Amino acid sequence: MTSIVRRLLFFTALIVIWETIYRLNLQLEFRTTTLFPSPIGAVQQLYIGFFETGILRVALIESLQRISIGFILAVMIGLCLGILIGISKLADETIGTLVIALQSVPSIVWLPISFVIFGANTGAIIFIVVLGGTWAMTMNVRMGIKNVQPILIRAAKTMGYNRTEVIWKVMIPASIPSALTGARLAWAFGWRALMAAELIGRGGLGRTLMDARDFYNMDLVVSIMIIISVIGLIVEYFFFSKIEKRVLSRWGLSKA
C-alpha cells in the first residue's frame, strides 16, 4: 500500500467520523447545531466562496501575495544576517545576541508598533511576516556556517584560498542544507504570523475567518482552516521536499 493511499484512507476515515458525529448531534443536540460544523457544509462553503461569491478566492490571493513578499524578504535578510554573524565573531557577539533575544518575542507582539509605522494596511502585515521568518533563517544560516567541517577550511587554505574565497567557495556552499532548513522554518513561522496578523488586521484569509466567526458561520471557518492546511501541505510536499532531496543528494547527505 503506497503512502498516498494510506493518507487518503486516513483522511477519509477522519471525515466519516466527523460527519457521523455531526449527524448524531443533529439528532441528540448535545451541542448547539449552529456552532457544530459539518465537513459537507465546509466543502459547500469552499465552492460558494471560490465560484459564487468569490470571497475566499480574493482572500486567498491577498494572503498569498503577502506571504510571498514577506517570505522572500525574510529569506534575504536572514541569509545576509546569518552569513555576517557566522563569519564575524564581533557580529556574533553583538548582532547575534540581539537576534537570539528577538527570536523569543512572538512576531504578533510587534503588530501595534507596525500599525503605528505603516498604518493598518498590507505593509504592517508584511512587516509581521518578515519578523516571523527572519530570525529562524538567520540562526540556521549561522549554524550552517559555524558547523562547516574544519578539514574543508584547512584544505581550502592549503590550496591557496584567501579568506574571501574560503567564505564564498567553501563555507557558504557547505551551509546550504542548514539554510534550506532555515527557509522551511521561515515559511512556517511567516505563514503563522500572517494568519495571526490578519485576524487583527484587514483582508486575507485571517480577516475572513474572523468575519465568519462573527456571523457564526462555522462551516466557513472550517473551510478557511482547510485552505490554510492545504497551502501548507502543497508548499511542503511540492516545493521544500523536492528541493531538499536535490540538495541532500548534491551534498551527499541523502540516505542510500
Query: CA neighbours within 13 Å on the CB side: how many for 54?
Result: 2
- Please report which confidence band the pLDDT of residue 152 belongs to, taking 50, 70 and 90 as the band edges: confident
From the CB of residue 117, how many other CB atoms can be counted at a distance below 10 Å?
Answer: 11
Kindly indicate the confidence band of residue 252, based on its pLDDT and cuts at 50, 70 and 90.
low
Amino acid of residue 242: K
Rg (CA), the chain: 23
CB atoms within 10 A of CB 255: 4
CA distance 69 to 186: 12
Question: How sure is the predictor about 256, in pLDDT bands with cuts at 50, 70 and 90?
Answer: very low
Helices then strands, each counted (H, E), the chain: 13, 0
Burial 158-181 (b: 16+ CB within 10 A, else e): eeebeeeebbeebbbebbebbbbb
Q: What average pLDDT score do residues 80-91 get?
A: 92
pLDDT at position 218 over 80: yes
Q: Concatenated DSSP letters for 138-184?
A: HHHHHHHHHTS-HHHHHHHHHTT--HHHHIIIIIHHHTHHHHHHHHH
CATH assignment of 60-218, among 3.40.605.10, 1.20.140.10, 1.10.3720.10, 1.10.1060.10: 1.10.3720.10
Backbone angles phi, psi at 171, to 5 degrees: -70, -50
Residue ranges covered by each domain of the chain: 60-218
Q: Which of 253, 223, 256, 251 is nearest to 40 (CA)?
A: 223
Residues 160-189 pLDDT 10s: 888 888 888 888 888 888 899 999 999 999
